């Protein structure tokens, strides 16, 4: 038996380990917005100490809708990494890395693509949504296989837990299905991961259209970009859609705009939303908006400063990423080698040493 089999995932010889966690975020824009932070990154920071956490900036996925200019992609990737560090990811505690630095993701993805039905991929609601925007001829095969690459991102680390937003639930289901399909065809190889969709996670809505999740694609006026300056942050928040009533009350059905502002304030000040709402008894929307603007600026200003300090030292960022890639590859290469062997690919003896 080769050494590889002894080291195979899920084998009894493996020492006990902390539960493993993986998540990914796209480097699609220059500034993360408050929804990215409060809905995802803040949880990443708090989970990094209780899990063996792998956090991946999914730069390969950033090509699926269009091909960004090379300089733009490079810049966004660096700015994304800097922001994740500024938000509190600690490279001593977690493994922070770029998807494109770990070739095992795409090497596993190919195999999983061959195990995914065309219709199965085409039925993904996110694919259908994205493909229905703009002419179909503009959409790449990569958009269709996006969730399969995502499954590879997760399975190649044998992640137990995957913190994601509600909108990723279907992709996680596909990941579990593919893990099980592989395991039943080739023998137990992949951990079947659980989605961790924290209930307490604030779902931040668009300031202009609070029926939708905050998203850059809905337009700039509804998005609180963390790297914006204080005056534009304040202006945007003051222009947030409310309603014709005047009472500040948490009622997401009847008062989505006001409730969203309360959610933001609660999440930024770590207080329950109903407590926060109580502060505004007898006060109008102006007072609420001022408080939200103040809390946002109080978070965003030092965040932007930390981000810019990190960006001022690109060699240090590169060092952090190189180290993250080494640690990620150490895990991913073992899982991939075991999977490839089980599939029946001949062993590349060279690479195994």
Residues that bind ligand TRP (CB under 6 A): 22-24, 26, 58, 61, 150, 153-154, 162, 164, 168, 171
CA atoms of 341 and 16, how far apart (whole Å): 24
Shortest Å distance, C-beta 152 to ligand TRP: 9
> To the nearest 10°, the Cα dihedral for 249, 251, 255, 256?
120
Question: Is 130 a residue of the active site?
Answer: yes
In 3D space, the residue among 201, 102, 118 whose CA is nearest the CA of residue 155 turns out to be 102
- Taking the least distance from each CB to ligand TRP, the nearer of 105 and 255 is 105
In 3D space, the residue among 201, 131, 132 whose CA is nearest the CA of residue 166 turns out to be 201
For 25, phi then psi, to 5°, come to -140, 140
- Taking the least distance from each CB to ligand TRP, the nearer of 87 and 154 is 154
- Taking the least distance from each CB to ligand TRP, the nearer of 240 and 321 is 321
CA atoms of 243 and 326, how far apart (whole Å): 52
Q: How many residues are there in the chain? A: 353
- Taking the least distance from each CB to ligand TRP, the nearer of 24 and 266 is 24
- Residue 57, helix vs strand vs coil: strand
- Residue 25, helix vs strand vs coil: strand
Candidates 42, 128, 130, 305; catalytic one: 130
CA atoms of 249 and 276, how far apart (whole Å): 10
The residue with its CB nearest to ligand TRP is 24
Shortest Å distance, C-beta 253 to ligand TRP: 26
CA atoms of 239 and 10, how far apart (whole Å): 53
Shortest Å distance, C-beta 73 to ligand TRP: 16
Shortest Å distance, C-beta 238 to ligand TRP: 29
Question: Is 289 a residue of the active site?
Answer: no
- Taking the least distance from each CB to ligand TRP, the nearer of 41 and 337 is 41
Candidates 42, 216, 236, 289; catalytic one: 216
The rounded Cα 66 to chain-centroid distance in angstroms is: 19
Question: Is 216 a residue of the active site?
Answer: yes
Tokens (6 digits) for 30: 């220059």
Shortest Å distance, C-beta 244 to ligand TRP: 35
| Residues identified as active-site | 130, 213, 216
């Amino acid at each position: 038996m080769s050494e590889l089999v002894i080291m195979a995932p899920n084998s009894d010889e493996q020492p006990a380990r902390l539960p493993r966690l993986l998540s990914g975020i796209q480097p699609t824009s220059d500034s993360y917005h408050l929804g990215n932070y409060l809905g995802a990154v803040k949880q990443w920071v708090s989970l990094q100490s209780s899990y063996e956490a792998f956090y991946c900036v999914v730069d390969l996925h950033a090509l699926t809708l269009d091909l960004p200019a090379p300089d733009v992609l490079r810049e966004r990737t660096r700015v994304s990494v800097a922001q994740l560090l500024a938000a509190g990811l600690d490279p001593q505690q977690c493994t922070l890395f770029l998807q494109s630095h770990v070739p095992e993701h795409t090497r596993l993805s190919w195999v999983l693509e061959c195990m995914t039905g065309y219709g199965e991929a085409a039925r993904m609601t996110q694919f259908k949504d994205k493909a229905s925007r703009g002419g179909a001829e503009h959409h790449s095969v990569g958009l269709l296989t996006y969730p399969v690459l995502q499954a590879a991102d997760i399975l190649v680390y044998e992640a137990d837990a995957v913190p994601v937003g509600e909108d990723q639930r279907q992709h996680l289901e596909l990941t579990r299905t593919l893990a099980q399909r592989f395991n039943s065809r080739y023998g137990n190889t992949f951990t079947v991961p659980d989605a961790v969709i924290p209930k307490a996670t604030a779902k931040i809505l668009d300031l202009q259209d609070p029926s939708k999740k905050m998203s850059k694609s809905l337009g700039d006026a509804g998005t609180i970009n963390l790297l914006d300056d204080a005056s534009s942050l304040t202006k945007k928040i003051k222009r947030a859609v409310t309603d014709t009533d005047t009472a500040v009350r948490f009622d997401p059905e009847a008062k989505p705009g006001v409730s969203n502002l309360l959610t933001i304030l609660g999440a930024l000040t770590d207080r329950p939303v109903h407590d926060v709402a109580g502060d505004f008894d007898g006060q109008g929307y102006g007072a609420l908006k001022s408080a939200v603007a103040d809390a946002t600026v109080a978070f965003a200003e030092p965040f932007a400063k930390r981000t810019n300090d990190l960006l001022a030292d690109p060699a240090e960022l590169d060092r952090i990423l190189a180290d993250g890639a080494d640690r990620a590859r150490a895990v991913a290469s073992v899982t991939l080698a075991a999977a490839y062997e089980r599939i029946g690919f001949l062993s590349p003896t060279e690479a195994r040493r």
